[in-house]
Amino acid sequence: HVLYKYRQTVLGPVFGSPVKKMVVLPKLDEPEVKSHHLAYITEDEVSLGLQILPLDGNPHKSTAFIGHPTGAAALACSYDGCFVCTAGGSDCTVILWEINLKVLEATAALGGKDMEPFYNLLEGGADGRVYKEIENYFYYCQIIDQGHSSKRQPSTKIPLSQVPFLMRALGYFLSEKEINDMQNEIKFSKYAETRKYVNEIGIEDFVKLYINHRPVVASSSRELLQAFNVLGKTGSTGQPVLQRSDLMTLLKGEHMTEKEVSECLTTLLSLDEEEEEETEGAHCKHDSSNYLTIKFIKDYSSLFGLHTGADSENLLECVIPDELSMKTLTQILGFPFLEEMSTRSSLPE
């Protein structure tokens, strides 16, 4: 029985269709060309693409060309790697490409050395707000791992167990499967060379991991509206609505208990013990003009710790109404870009 696992996820150029065929070019016997290279075609648009190996998410290590009017159907390379032949489909054309890998190597070099290309993919670069947050959360993970009261052990790495919490603090919320795939990627990253597992990760490797795994395109209002149309039902106002009990059931899709879901939502909604005491014994009312506004959590510990109140499940009933419309949910989550489409009850044609 063979068990397959993901080994790496990397950022790549976005085309109109997925890669159709790829081939590794023979290594050129030239001092200027030190890397191996990959040639590929897609199902449409891109007739030939070139990529410097190994794949690491550097956007400057890839290029693509359009040559066939209806896209390429197949490709093959010469024995020396200097030529690549692509065949079209219905256009009945064959193109012989002469490959100059020195130009691709020069383009990659102009993109920056070491971590510079990856820092440039973060908003503001290495001096921007995002990287400063990564640094702060990274060091806080070290404190959490070593203990608040223990003597500091100088280190430049954090254990794998802290990686999911660091990702979530940066706004990327992974599923359990994605967490497992990510940890396996780190754990087996050097196994082929050293036959040893990697159990820690440094900040530079984490930046690469974050850039390669974070969603390339943010969720849109149309996607959320489609989810409400599929999962919800039409309410009294004619708009799709979702019952709170149904939402809790959907959130438990990956073997989360109701207590775990309640604790996570309580943390995200910034409901602390004081709020719980104030609402204890009070009658919960939900008014269409009175929605909860999420607070910014300034205390780092709130980003990583879970609320452990015994009545967190009952507390949610005071915050989340029995029936959720898309407008209500987006206001609870603080999404400002959905107000226009939330008035529609069906997907646009």
What pLDDT does residue 35 have?
86
Quickly tell me which residue has 């069906």 as its tokens: 346
What pLDDT does residue 194 have?
92
Based on its alpha-carbon atoms, the radius of gyration of the chain, rounded to whole angstroms, reads 25
Residue 210 has pLDDT above 80, yes or no: yes
Encode pLDDT of 213-236 as tens digits: 998 877 777 888 888 888 888 877
What pLDDT does residue 244 have?
82
Quick one: 119-213 is in which CATH superfamily?
EF-hand (1.10.238.10)
Neighbours of 261 (CB within 10 A): 19
Whether 140 and 304 have beta carbons less than 8 Å apart is answered as: yes
Encode pLDDT of 305-329 as tens digits: 434 444 555 666 666 777 878 777 7
Segments making up each domain of the chain, as ranges: 19-111, 119-213, 222-343
Q: What pTM was computed for the model? A: 0.70
Calpha distance 198→5 (Å, rounded): 16
Calpha distance 158→140 (Å, rounded): 10
